[in-house]
Structure 1
């Protein structure tokens, strides 16, 4: 097993338009990285602010309804924290610093390496608005994706190659460690 970072986690963003398979890929990468002995944290951006983590009828819901700004539920094996405030992405990354990998879904303009999900040819237009893209994960067949070859220095994977993508991520650990020295 490769030695992982002690100072900070490795970070990879998975970005793309709606219904391109971001969550599915992140789940597959999480399984593979965990199987490879890595501790993985996932941050998902909800651009519409409509998620509900707690539900009516629970004690934690009643605490929040009573006005608590933060509710923490802890057990022997899990901890859940629900706060009534936005936390900057940087602060959450610092909070999760003990993990080997942080996979981020969304936050397209954040300054981290990105894998861009492409379901259709038109999805490639997203590349024009992004910085720090390091690869493309595509649903397109190779003969349909000729324009992808124009992008210099990007790795390319099929959406069906999640284990290969995870192996590629693990291979990046060594390169990142050498850069930090």
Structure 2
């Protein structure tokens, strides 16, 4: 990897907009001349095979990622198979690529800086179960008292949060 390779996780429950945000970040980073990779956690169990996770990796590549992968059921779709891949091992594997930033979709329990996507009030539980929150992007209006420790953006403030996140990863 490059001298410095940033890692940023995008976490949220199903249909919260993780893949869409990943595409936007990958596109912007690639436009800024950064070499980008993505890692997606197949959170629905089993081997990712022509499902939405595999299609999401294609979306990441089309957005500008020079390498992308999906992991599930013991299979890393870079045509490698081992039992129990973890995020640290995948990041080490990515060391062979000349990268500036890796965007990670999922892996809520890992320790890298995170963007938390909130769709509704039930999703607020994520704020108490994940660590290292860089910012929150919400589909709904949130009480600032609850979120006083976090940078918060509304979903429609796309330019603001994309600019903010790009400054963080560069």
TM-score when normalising by structure 1: 0.69
Counterpart in the other structure of 2:79: 82
Question: Larger Rg: 1 or 2?
Answer: 1
Deviation at 1:173, TM superposition (A): 4.4
Contact 1:32/1:163 (<8 A) preserved: no
Choose from 141, 151, 161 the match for 1:165: 161
Q: Which residue of 1 aligns with 2:15?
A: 19
- Distance of 2:133 and 2:67 partners within structure 1: 34
Between the aligned partners of 1:132 and 1:107, the Cα distance in structure 2 is 12
Tell me which of 40, 47, 50 is aligned to 1:50.
Answer: 47
Q: How many angstroms does 1:150 deviate by?
A: 2.7
Within 5 Å, which residues of 2 pair with 1:28-107?
A: 28-47=24-43, 48-52=45-49, 81-85=78-82, 86-97=84-95, 98-107=98-107
1:57 aligns to what? none
Which piece of structure 1 moves more, 17-26 or 89-98? 89-98
| Cα distance, 1:78–1:138 mapped onto 2, change above 3 Å | closer
Give the CA deviation at 1:41. Answer: 0.5
Q: Please list, as runs of the form range in 1=range in 2, the aligned pairs for 1:106-117 lying within 5 A after superposition.
A: 106-117=106-117
Report the counterpart of residue 71 of structure 2 in structure 1.
none
Q: Decide whether aligned partners of structure 1 residues 131 and 105 sit closer, same or farther in structure 2, where only a CA change above 3 A counts.
A: same
Give the unaligned 5+ runs of structure 1: 54-76, 175-181
> Aligned equivalents of 1:106 and 1:149: distance in 2?
27
Taking a change above 3 Å as real, the CA distance of residues 78 and 104 of structure 1, as seen in their structure-2 partners, is: closer
Is 1:28–1:162's contact at 8 Å kept on the other side of the alignment?
Answer: no
In 1, Cα distance between equivalents of 2:164 and 2:157: 11
Superposition RMSD in Å: 2.5
Q: Structure 2-normalised TM-score?
A: 0.73
Q: Matched residue of 2:78: which SS? A: strand
The alignment partner of 2:134 has SS state of: strand
Cα offsets for 1:64-86 (capped at 9, x unmatched): xxxxxxxxxxxxx9998311214
Tell me the distance in 2 between the aligned counterparts of 1:104 and 1:78. 12
- Give the aligned partner of residue 134 of structure 1: 134
Give the aligned length: 143
